[in-house]
Amino acid sequence: MDKQPKKTYSFSISKRRKVLTYLVLFVGAFISLLPFIWMISTSLMTLGEALGTAFFPASPQFQNYAEAWRRAQFSKFFVNSLMITLITLSGEVTFSVFAAYAFARIEFPGRDLIFNIMLSTIMIPAMVLIIPNFLTVTWLGRIGPIPWINNWPALTIPFMGSIFSIFLLKQFFAQVPNELYDAAQIDGAGHLRFLFRVVLPLSKAPLMVILVLSFIGTWNSLAWPMLVTNTPDWRPISVGLMNFVDEAGQLIHLTMAGAFITIIPILIIYFFTQRQFTDSIARSGLKG
Amino acid sequence: MKKKSFLLRSITGRQGRRLKEYLTAYIFIAPASILVFLFGIFPVFFALYVSLHRWRIVRGDMIGLKNYGTAVGNLAYVIAFFLGIGALALVCFIIQHILKLKKKHADQPWLAIFPGFLFMVTVLAFFNWFYHALPEVLDIAFKVRGLERGQIVFADFLREALRAEAVLPAWRIFLLALLASVAVSLLIRRLWRNRRNFNYQIFFALGFLALSVGIGLLAFTLQEVAGAYEVALAEGSDPGIWPQVISISAGVLLLGAGYLLWRRAETQATNGGFWLHLLAALVLLVGGWLLIGEIPMIIANGDKQVWDGLKVTLFFSLGTVPVQLTLSIFLSVLLFQKLIGSNIFRIIYFIPYVTPAIASAAVFQQMFSNRHTAPVNMFLRALGLPPQKWLFEPRGVITLIAEYFGKTVPAWMAGPSLAMSVIILHSVWTFVGYNTVIYLAGLGNIPKELNDAAEVDGASGWQVFRHITFPLLSPTTYFLSLIGIIGTFKAFNTIWIFRSNMALGTTDTFSLVIFIEFFEKLRYGYASAMAFVLFGIILTLTLINNRIQGSRVFYG
């Protein structure tokens, strides 16, 4: 406060720097968003405009979305993807919550060994697993009560045991203070009641992260669904979109509409949860 | 009488509560553990089994290391040989560890050798059973063909499979070994009451296991090499595996010695000593490098697809990781200042990462289309440059630039194809936001006092960044580079979308080569072998990175 001149000096520099900073940040944001802008703009064009040089449609053609939806059978694929996500998530969350609770709060012989063996599977690249898992799933479908290929089990069951979710939840469960458990035990509550009455209500944030990450993972998966579905019955939206892009070819106004349709659910979820989302990404990332 | 009291004790009282606690825990982890085991651990052994066979949809003959030999040439034998040697070296480390433990506590752990040995026998017996039982169990799927689903009594088939000729004795040996080892283990614990007793047993078991794996692998490799020599001599050629083994071993030894000398040079007191060490280290390193330099030639003698796939993956890694790290460290430092709206920028930068890659790839495909009216080609035209074929262009970037200036470059300088460059661009675009968010978290961990102190001392913004921020971010940088490099080795979805026949396979990374071999050519055994090569590369990268991280990264 006593060095007035110096302060104004530094202020003028930081003002110039501020303008530069904003300029760079705006350019970055523009590049990040440019493909989206182009996609939305093209999806509202007529075919002639889309193949021509226009950057914006003369009049927005909203019926493109209806046509893309109809042509790509998106109503079918949307339902498929939603079902796959729901089944996977319900299994994954249930199993992970129980396993993470045991790993975090119960002492039993072999706990660290089992957990570390399970954790080491994160290192294994998917390409090593995809062939034997395909053989396993085919085998299970042949001998089991229901077929697995072209059906929900092959698309969901292998993803229900997720060590990533267990790891994330375990980190969180371990932070619940021991005093709470002691108090609950005095009140006569066992592990189950403690888990459902105390731990889970405290763990909304990590559960949210698991829900969102698994949702995105299921929505994005391509290689495995391509492998285990060969009819549209259970094919998810990712494979549906890929096939539509191949089929529609030069009808790019329709493919862009289709691409945008598949992005919308993810964007909605992202905007509602972005705070927890980026935070947990940063935290899980730094922990490695 | 005594037994009854033990039973009584175990279901009531403190002991009983503890047992109930264990049981609860095992029930809690059972579903997740079974699934992780079935789809995450078991497949590794299954894939190894598949990779040792000729396997096109259905299992064919066992052909040993031939699939690996086809993929990476003689390097397969060299690596198998090295793995055997490595297992034997592990035995030495374990013995050293046991001796150290013994000396430290003045124990006499030799009794623990017996249960250790039996544990090893048990593990081997289990894998022996696994090896014999797997084909029988797999064949159930063929036996039930043509039966109605309701009629299948799976338990009967399974019993039949597990009672097959070779399987049952293997199972009995396993059970016998298991019983014997548990009994002997308990007996030794009674005989020698020591807290570390069981630890010694485990260490001895690991030592014996490494020993048997090492000897087994060496014997297997020798047999395979002998077979390869036989085949080659019959054809009148010389496979030259032994000279390669010797030269590569010498190269690795020289590199190791050179590295040690290099490290010692830093601690030399006198100037002369420092330069002498450095010179010697350099000579050793160059010599080792020359000897190891044969490796690419050996791989090039293998499958050309593997070689090309590795090259494309290398371009992909080198093209994406440094660029996205530079961009994101820059953006994160800018965003870290107290700015109005920095949160909005963060949200925007992260959008590409959450967008389904298939959708964003479809958009990039059209933006980088070969049409003259596609956005990027229009942009080029506005700059006065000729339109490009982008994803349909197999020629290298450097070749194209040189051509524009009317020059030609040799083939080895062509660089990644233009099609690959689009994929690199898309990857950078996708991951800059993710890296920025993690860098921001890293910046948040740097104590603010350090920056303030430096500024008080009159350091410029760039100096603060160069000497304080950047070194303190090194753990984040290492983490992100490892994740990025491994990510490029694993990448599949987007490249599969971008892939076109016109690019002549110049966009097929190693992962793609494996998937195509499996999905389109249906050569399961060969694809599994290639997948293990990929696994080996990723493991090696991780280990090297961990080593560097241990010695070079500054943790604040």
**A94 has a pLDDT exceeding 60:** yes
Residues A10, A120, single domain; the answer is no
pLDDT digits (tens, 9 = 90+) for A116-152: 999 888 888 889 999 999 999 998 888 878 888 888 9
B252 pLDDT band (50/70/90 cuts)? confident
**Site from A278, A279, A284, A286 to mutate, B interface, most B CB atoms within 10 angstroms:** A278
The closest alpha carbon to B311, from B205, B456, B415, belongs to: B415
Q: Of A41-45, A284-288, B100-104, where does mean pLDDT reach its minimum? A: A284-288
What length is written for chain A?
Answer: 288
CB contact under 8 A, B36 and A121: yes
Mean pLDDT of B468-479: 84
Rounded percentage of chain B residues whose pLDDT exceeds 90: 30
Residues A39, A177, single domain; the answer is no
Q: Quick check: is A241 in a domain?
A: yes
**A3 has a pLDDT exceeding 60:** no
Per-residue CA distances from B344 to A25, A271, B335, B350 (Å) = 10, 11, 10, 10
Residues A162, A92, single domain; the answer is yes
Q: Which carries the bigger pLDDT value, residue B427 or residue B295?
A: B427
Of residues B337, B358, B489, nearest to A241 (C-beta): B358
Of residues A158, A252, A282, nearest to B39 (C-beta): A158
What length is written for chain B?
Answer: 556
d(CA B71, CA B310): 12
CB contact under 8 A, A286 and B441: yes
Per-domain residue ranges of chain B: 1-51, 74-239, 241-297, 302-552
Q: Quick check: is A55 in a domain?
A: no
The CATH number of residue A165's host domain is 1.10.3720.10
Residues A142, A241, single domain; the answer is yes
Of residues A96, A131, A142, nearest to B527 (C-beta): A131
Residues A111, A75, single domain; the answer is yes
Mean pLDDT of A261-272: 89
Give the chain B residue whose CA is nearest to the CA of A276.
B347
**A288 has a pLDDT exceeding 50:** no
Residues A143, A239, single domain; the answer is yes
Residues A14, A79, single domain; the answer is no
pLDDT digits (tens, 9 = 90+) for A149-206: 888 999 999 999 989 899 889 988 988 888 888 888 888 888 888 888 888 988 888 8
**A1 has a pLDDT exceeding 60:** no
Task: Give the angle subtended at the CA of B524 by the CAs of B522 and B525, to the nearest 5°.
Answer: 140
What is the model's pLDDT at position A13?
Answer: 54
Q: Quick check: is A59 in a domain?
A: no
Q: What is the pTM of this model?
A: 0.86
For residue A11, the enclosing domain spans 4-43
Interface check A109 vs B, CB under 8 A = yes
What is the model's pLDDT at position A5?
Answer: 42
Interface check A191 vs B, CB under 8 A = yes
Residues A126, A29, single domain; the answer is no
Mean pLDDT of B232-253: 82
d(CA A64, CA A72): 12
The closest alpha carbon to A270, from B342, B350, B431, B435, belongs to: B350
Question: Half-sphere exposure of A36 toward its Cβ, with a 13 Å CA cutoff?
Answer: 21
**B520 has a pLDDT exceeding 60:** yes
Number of structural domains chain A divides into: 2
d(CA A214, CA A220): 10
- Region of B146 (left: φ > 0; alpha: ψ -120 to 50; beta: rest) is left
Rounded percentage of chain A residues whose pLDDT exceeds 90: 34
Q: Of B82-96, B371-385, B402-416, B425-439, where does mean pLDDT reach its minimum? A: B402-416
pLDDT digits (tens, 9 = 90+) for B450-469: 777 877 887 777 788 888 88
Mean pLDDT of B224-251: 83
Residues A24, A92, single domain; the answer is no
B490 pLDDT band (50/70/90 cuts)? confident
pLDDT digits (tens, 9 = 90+) for A200-224: 988 888 888 888 888 888 888 888 9
**B68 has a pLDDT exceeding 80:** yes
**Are B134 and B47 contacting, i.e. CB atoms less than 8 angstroms apart?**
no
User: DSSP character for B56?
Assistant: E
**Are B365 and B391 contacting, i.e. CB atoms less than 8 angstroms apart?**
yes
Residues A160, A196, single domain; the answer is yes
A286 pLDDT band (50/70/90 cuts)? very low
CB contact under 8 A, A274 and B360: no
What is the model's pLDDT at position B2?
Answer: 47
B236 pLDDT band (50/70/90 cuts)? confident
Q: Quick check: is A58 in a domain?
A: no
What is the model's pLDDT at position B209?
Answer: 93
Q: Quick check: is A57 in a domain?
A: no
The closest alpha carbon to A254, from A65, A76, A70, A74, belongs to: A65
Per-residue CA distances from A84 to A92, A149, A208 (Å) = 12, 14, 18
CB contact under 8 A, B41 and A102: no
Q: Which fold has domain B302-552?
A: MetI-like fold (1.10.3720)
Residues A116, A13, single domain; the answer is no
Residues A130, A257, single domain; the answer is yes
Mean pLDDT of B350-371: 90
**B474 has a pLDDT exceeding 60:** yes
The ipTM value here is: 0.87
pLDDT digits (tens, 9 = 90+) for A52-88: 877 888 888 888 899 989 988 889 999 999 999 999 9
